[in-house]
Structure 1
Amino acid sequence: MNQPAPPTADQQRLALLIEAESMQLGEFLAILDREEGLLVQGNTDALINIANEKNERYRQLQHLHDERTRLLVRMGHGVSDAAIRKVCANLPRVLARWDEVIARARQARDRNALNGQLILERMSGNQAALTVLLSAANHPQLYDADGLAKPTGGGRILGSA
């Protein structure tokens, strides 16, 4: 019976990086879920913390990606889906995890785009409200400090005939 060759140290390292990337992407998706919930609720104050978490998670994902890239190049492969599939051809569990990484990365891209759209809509609503408030500030006051109505003019302008 022909046993498959045991994974090399580089294959094992690649498997660990792919596993870590999948976990990080899962956590990134959870952050995006929380962000969407806050945006839908209109709880914009909490978005600062979410943005900080997203940035930190992104840095961690970038670090894993960079490590994976260096490893593949050192192994003499390009940085592509095909290269990972070739290197891990005899490691079906790693390939399954790699498929998960690809699926989660697509989900993260789509969720981030959706949240970006929600942010733009919220900003548009805020801009419209601000425009109304600024417009109202340019109109003369209708009431004085005592709450009495002020005349708003309508008479002749001095110096006109």
Structure 2
Amino acid sequence: MTLQPELQRLVQLIDSEAILLRSFLALLEREEALLIAGDADGLLALSKEKTERYHQLQRIHDDRALLLGRLRRPNTAASIHELCQPLPDTRARWDEILNLAREAQTRNTLNGKLITERMQNNQAALSVLLNAAQQPQLYDSAGMARPTSGGRHLGSA
């Protein structure tokens, strides 16, 4: 069956989006593992790749929205299902995209919670260190014990 050019382009966009979403989901899974392991260097490298993949997905979304606009259709799942009615493989891939997008959203939310938890733990550790730094020194620079006074400082009431 010969497809009109707009429908051919829609099929290409859906195929590309499915591939990119699978890849994005794999990045989110790696991100979760790195967050659990506390691998800050790995997270930094991954964040660049994740941002790049996100921008690729956004471009495909924008291209699809423009294509649907030219066809005078809203950019909705229902419009895509209707347009792909004669293409069961493409409809199945579109359904896969919808499922992958939900899974990516769930994983991204979980990773956000892991990041928040990690930040809270780091903040608590930092507070302990800052409080310890404000305590009087028990040793001088030569390593000799300094007596600590429990009394008042001169000039205090």
1:25 to 21, 27, 30: 21
Structure 2 residue runs without a partner (length 5+): none
Aligned to 1:51: 47
Aligned residue identity for 1:71? L
The CA deviation string for residues 10-61 of structure 1, in whole angstroms up to 9 with x for no partner, is 1111011001000000110111111111111111122111111111001000
Aligned residue identity for 1:104? L
1:71 to 67, 72, 86: 67
TM-fit CA distance, 1:159: 5.5
Percent identity between matched residues is 52
RMSD: 1.5
Structure 1 residue runs without a partner (length 5+): none
Q: Distance in 2 between matches of 1:53 and 1:147?
A: 49
Q: Distance in 2 between matches of 1:107 and 1:160?
A: 62
Aligned to 2:94: 98
When normalised by structure 2's length, the TM-score is: 0.94
Aligned to 2:131: 135
TM-fit CA distance, 1:156: 4.7
Q: Distance in 2 between matches of 1:131 and 1:16?
A: 53
The CA deviation string for residues 44-91 of structure 1, in whole angstroms up to 9 with x for no partner, is 122111111111001000000000000011011111011001111111
Q: Distance in 2 between matches of 1:71 and 1:158?
A: 79
TM-fit CA distance, 1:160: 7.2
- How many residues align? The count is 157
Worse overlay, 54-63 or 42-51: 42-51
Question: Where has structure 1 moved over 4 Å in runs of 4 or more?
Answer: none
Aligned to 1:153: 149
